[in-house]
Amino acid sequence: MTLRITPLSDALGSEVVGVDFSKPVSVSDFQRIRSELTDRLVLVVRDQNLTPAQLVATVQMFGEIMPQHLSEMLMPEHPDIAVLDSRNVQPGPDGRIMPVGSRAWHTDHTNHAMPPKFTVLYAVSLPQTGGDTSFANMQRAYARLTDNERKELVNLRTLNKIEDHSYVSDADRSRFGERQSHPLIRTHPDTGRKGIYLHPGKTESIEGMTPEDSRVFVDQLLDKTIVPEVIYRHHWLTGDLIIWDNRGVSHRAHADYDLSAGRVMHRVLVRGEVPF
């Protein structure tokens, strides 16, 4: 197969065809894929057919796998994989039944001291309609602000907590529950690009603000910066493997489908570094 990489939007994202991660990948092809991920932040690798073991092996090519605190969703035989199955969604603290990742724009697992640099999501089963995922280039979102607006944000920090959901076990709540302070404006270690970095559901507060003022601040910031010009919306096909860089990307799943139809994704995380 010949590797082909094509941009998916002006904002971010590239489509990768001509690679089969169930088989050995040449050094040159992987270098092209890895370089494209650094530059475009989201890769959609088409037409994969991976067992759980092959998925884990594929993700290990991109770095060290890190544990997930989606305790009740972990695959028993392969606990590095979280199974996101819409048929098993439980009500949240507010009583609403919302698929994982659909409540707000966010970056993953900010309650960790070293949050994941990459998230990998593999489409196993999909509803007939709906269930897209949107991605936002938060580096471009930050760059679109005025100089004064950027100066107001650059020294702010978020205090992050683990979410209050039933899928987090008491053991994992204890293991991963320590508050973590991260910069609101994060510098990408490979490119030096700065971008807005946060998870509203895990942001207990902006340091120096009350939780109430912080919620208003975060909502207004995301409403202002996540605009069509920075977004790519992905329509999933079975066998799609998407890798995205949490250090420069926010994402949101769309809950516009029948949850009982079964939208099943396998998710693996790659450990990152301490944000700066």
**Residue 111 has what pLDDT?**
95
**Residue 44 has what pLDDT?**
98
99-117 tens-digit pLDDT? 787 889 999 999 999 999 9
- Say which DSSP state 181 is in: E
**Residue 203 has what pLDDT?**
96
Domain regions of the chain by residue span: 4-271
As a whole number of angstroms, the distance between CA 262 and CA 98 comes to 14
Rg (C-alpha) for the chain, rounded Å, is 18
**Residue 91 has what pLDDT?**
77
- With 0-12 CB in 10 A as exposed, 13-18 as middle and 19+ as buried, what is 1? exposed
CA dihedral 8, 14, 16, 17 (to 10 degrees): 20
Owner of token pair 């109430």: 212
CATH number of the domain located at residue range(s) 4-271 in this protein:
3.60.130.10
149-190 tens-digit pLDDT? 999 999 999 999 988 776 788 787 878 879 999 999 999 999
**Residue 114 has what pLDDT?**
97
**Residue 33 has what pLDDT?**
98
CA dihedral 245, 246, 249, 254 (to 10 degrees): 110
As a whole number of angstroms, the distance between CA 83 and CA 217 comes to 33
The amino acid at residue 132 is: D
The amino acid at residue 106 is: H
Low-confidence residues of the chain: pLDDT under 70: 166
